Amino acid sequence: MAGTVKDEIMHDHNHDGIDRRGFLKCMAWAGTGALCVMSGGVLKSYSLSRLPGLSPKEAMGELSFVQISDSHMGFNKPANPDVAGTLKAAVDKINALPGAPDFMLHTGDISHLSKPEEFDTVDQILKSAKPKDVFYVPGEHDVLNDDGKQFLERYGKGGKGAGWYSFDKKGAHFIGLVNVMNLKAGGLGTLGHEQLEWLEDDVKQLKHSTPIVVFAHIPLWSVYPEWGWGTEDSAQALAYLKKFGSVTVLNGHIHQTMQKVEGNVTFHTAASTAFPQPQPGKADSPGPMKVPAEQLKSVLGITDVNFVQGQHALAVVDSTLA
């Protein structure tokens, strides 16, 4: 899908470099490698083939971080018998990025069965990544059998409640949320009253111009509720973020890239480093999807995010492991 930008822009009413059709094409690129730049709430898209023409600042930004997700260490079924190998390939990809990212986010399902040795293996593999800081939120596979106690001990020290927290990096405010605890029969992901109250309080004092990055495991938008791909009370969380000019929401869980823009909020889901899952409703269940071995790395990936200070711009780039 390496078309020129001119091809994509047919109805540029706002003179912002993007029309609706262009945006849809940008979505289609996600997973094959595209650069989508948020600038003042406006999405601009470039194909990766144009990247060499961008200035280094445009390409790299001032803050750069990488999102990885759903490493499912311990999974050994036909969809991927070597999840350690593909996580290592993801680390190689991260280490090959131009300029080392400042840190990494892991949006959950670090392990497959919450076993200590699974977490140990991931920790060991991630040690070889250039970015040394990793910020985690749990997936439902990380809190099995012990209500998340082990996850909190390993990754959630200093967090509140089930492990939610926030931090600031170069003017951007990052918020890690937990929506995999206390799930109710028939329901979706849940943040819960206590966490929502904390969130409201956490963002109260921030300037409206502060770029916000929210990361959580299950999508905070309704991707496909029939498969549980959504969060019951995410609307309340997003209501607290309405006042901000730029909000980027990063999730995992669905093992495929997907993007949506709604007002000031850009939603983005990352690929898994372990195995792909079917598109919403395109299979009997959301179970692991087996693809021919030689195609596996083309459906796994990492997400590289760049933030240009002063421009309120976040660039989200998905790259496959192929």
Interacting residues with other proteins (CB under 8 A): 77-79, 112-114, 140-141, 144-145, 183-188, 226-228, 284-288
Nearer to other proteins, 186 or 310 (CB): 186
Closer by beta carbon to other proteins, 54 or else 113: 113
How far is Cα 268 from Cα 252, in angstroms, rounded to an integer? Answer: 8
Where b means 16+ CB within 10 Å and e means fewer, 182-213 reads: eeeeeebbbbbeebbebbeebbeebeeebbbb
Tell the smallest beta-carbon distance from residue 140 to other proteins (Å).
5
Nearer to other proteins, 213 or 216 (CB): 216
CB of residue 144 vs other proteins: minimum separation in angstroms? Answer: 4
The rounded distance, in Å, linking the Cα atoms of 192 and 174 is 19
| Residue 315 near residue 120 (C-beta atoms within 8 A) | no
Strand 103-106 to 63-68 pairing: parallel
Residue closer to other proteins by CB (options 206, 291) is 291
**Cα 231 from Cα 137, distance rounded (Å):** 15
Provide the β-strand partners of residue 320.
Answer: 301
> Closest approach of Cβ 10 to other proteins, in Å?
39
Distance between CA atoms of residues 122 and 144, nearest Å: 17
Task: Find all residues with CB under 8 Å of 115, minimum gap 6, and list them.
Answer: 74
Burial 76-98 (b: 16+ CB within 10 A, else e): eeebbeebbebbbbbbebbeebe
Q: How many residues does the chain have?
A: 322
Closest approach of Cβ 82 to other proteins, in Å?
15
**Dihedral pair phi/psi, residue 168, rounded to 5°:** -115, 140
Angstrom distance (rounded) from CA 166 to CA 307: 17
Minimal distance, residue 200 CB to other proteins, in Å:
25
Minimum gap (Å) between residue 239 Cβ and other proteins: 24
> At 250, which amino acid appears?
L
Q: Name the residue nearer to other proteins (CB basis): 53 or 78.
A: 78
Nearer to other proteins, 205 or 285 (CB): 285
For residues 145 and 222, which CB has a smaller minimum distance to other proteins in the complex?
145
The least CB distance from residue 273 to other proteins, in Å, is 16
What gap in Å lies between CA 145 and CA 190, rounded to an integer?
18
Residue 305: which of 92, 149, 101, 111 has the closest Cα?
A: 101
- Decide whether 79 or 271 has the Cβ nearer to other proteins: 79
CB of residue 137 to other proteins, shortest distance in Å: 16
* CA dist., res. 67 & res. 107, Å (int): 7
